[in-house]
Amino acid sequence: MKIALIQVVYYEYLGVMYLSSSLKKHGHTVEAFIYRRGNTVKTFIEEIKRFKPDIAAFSCMTGSEEQLVSLARQLKNEMDVYTVFGGPHPTAVPEIIEREGVDCVCQGEAEQSLVAIADILARGGIPATVPGAWFKINREIVRNESGTPEQNLEKLPRPDRSLYREKYPSMRTQRAGFLLGRGCPYHCTFCASPSWQRLYHGKGNFVRQQSVQAVIEEMREVKAKYNIRTVYFFDDTFIINRDWVLEFCDAYRHEIGLPFSCNIRADLATEELIAALARANCKTTAFGVETGNSENRKRLLKKDVSDEQIINCSELLRAHGIRFRTFNMLGLPGETLDDAFQTIALNVKIKSDYPWCSLYQPLPGTELGEYCRKNGMFNSECEAPQPSFFKGSSLELENRNEIVNLQKLFFFAVKFPRLQSSIRRAIRLRPNAFFEFFFVLAHARNFYRLELFSLQDMVNIGMRNVEGYLPRGRG
């Protein structure tokens, strides 16, 4: 079978690479297709048609579902192809299968289910009873229970890094990402992880980790093959298992040694762990502040991390020479402008190297998202989350425009506190290109400094991202 893995974001998804390697292991042919700015839908569909796929598998995040459903529908009108939707949005909203153009939905980790579907179709069968998948058969919906997530991650084939690198030259960077484990044990109301925990309840361990040696072997192989010079770990919380982290950092320091970045959690940071990260050549890290209002952080977001723990974490990182990014959100349900400036104040206090800030989006399937929906908190112009975390707010908020504008200037308000009085006046204006310009300026500068890309890699990625804005000949 020939499977087209389709996405609308120009990005190397590790999950998609795992799907590709699993499919290839079972004898299927796989190719990635990324809809890029500057392309037309017609051109993109023609590109896919030349591959002649039997299955079109769409990687779908909330906000991209309408575009992908439309694409699937048009593709099916052009050729005989079986369409499968997977990823965060179909996992939370499997009812997307009711839409025209969608034949199947895979929920959760889809390596096993997508391979099973491809194998059945290859034999000329009709998939209907695959765990973890919903099917549309003669306009009837077949809903199967979730499958069991692979408990031994080392049984999965390593991600297929050739999937993107061979086809898209600008993705041939000297930086590579790795996933040490799967699953998060926390229950933050804004995050999709608790819904995945419910999906797999009673079906084995949700939080799983590879052995240190297995990870080191994969990294050694990738380092040699692609001449990588920096590493990024995608795990939500890198330091969740103290003993594992200490063992890994020691092995990494001796056998890999490349500069790396990772995500941590402030309440887990200790002198011992941060020192181990520093010895292993951790250059940058990131942790969630979310909001400067500690009551909202604990009650509304159910993230039981105190201001004191956030301050302690920042002090430990600074003492060991590790730069850090903080994750923040503005526009939470019921948030005031004073609350938003409280978040800025906490970031100023801890001297965040890169105070990253998004606008809260009430994602489907999350506890906080459902709370917003049930309580009618969406504004009259929007009844669903925005496609971007940076464009606008979906909620009815006091001082909504000011909060949206403040998100764009968040970095400058933190890094240059003396500007805050001027920023308070500026954000009273209607949202406009002025705010967008300064947001992009700050984002680009700090992306380069903290993501550990080489200058050449940044130029390649930047040129690809602005491709759609460059003038084109008529060919």
pLDDT higher than 90, residue 469:
no
Q: Quote the tokens at residue 71.
A: 């694409």
pLDDT at 8 over 50: yes
83, part of any domain:
yes
- Is residue 163 assigned to a domain? no
Do residues 194 and 51 both lie within one domain? Answer: no
- Residue 111 pLDDT more than 50? yes
Instruction: Tell me: do 79 and 203 sit in the same domain.
Output: no
For residues 318 and 444, state if they share a domain. Answer: yes
Do 132 and 215 belong together in one domain? no
Q: Are residues 224 and 111 in the same domain?
A: no
351-376 mean pLDDT: 94
Mean pLDDT computed over 203-214: 96
The domain that holds 381 is classified in CATH as 3.20.20.70
CB neighbourhood size of 272 (10 A): 11
Flag whether 471 is in a domain. Answer: no
- Are 355 and 426 members of one domain? yes
Residue 152 in any domain: the answer is no
Res 450: pLDDT: 63
Q: pLDDT at position 468, please?
A: 31
Read off the pLDDT of residues 372-419 as tens digits, 9 standing for 90 and up: 999 999 876 655 565 556 677 889 898 999 999 999 999 999 999 999
- Cα separation, 4 vs 412, whole angstroms: 42
Whether the per-residue pLDDT at 466 is higher than 50: the answer is: no
- Regarding whether 181 and 130 lie in a shared domain, the answer is no
Q: What is the pLDDT of residues 50-65, one digit of tens each?
A: 999 999 999 999 889 9
Looking at the domain assignment, is residue 168 inside a domain?
Answer: no
Q: How confident is the model at residue 340 (pLDDT cuts 50, 70, 90)?
A: very high
Q: Give 288-334 pLDDT, tens digit per residue.
A: 999 999 999 999 999 999 999 999 999 999 999 999 999 999 999 99
- Examine the domain organization and report whether 365 and 427 are in the same domain: yes
The rounded distance, in Å, linking the Cα atoms of 430 and 407 is 13
Determine the longest span between alpha carbons in the chain, in angstroms. 68
Average pLDDT for 211-239: 96
Q: Give mean pLDDT, residues 118-144.
A: 96
> How many domains is the chain built from?
2
Containing domain of residue 44, as a range?
A: 2-143
Same domain? 196 vs 255: yes
CATH number at residue 49: 3.40.50.280
What's the confidence (pLDDT) of residue 467? 35
Comparing CA positions, the residue from 175, 243, 251, 260 lying closest to residue 209 is: 243
The Cα 256–Cα 229 span in angstroms is: 10
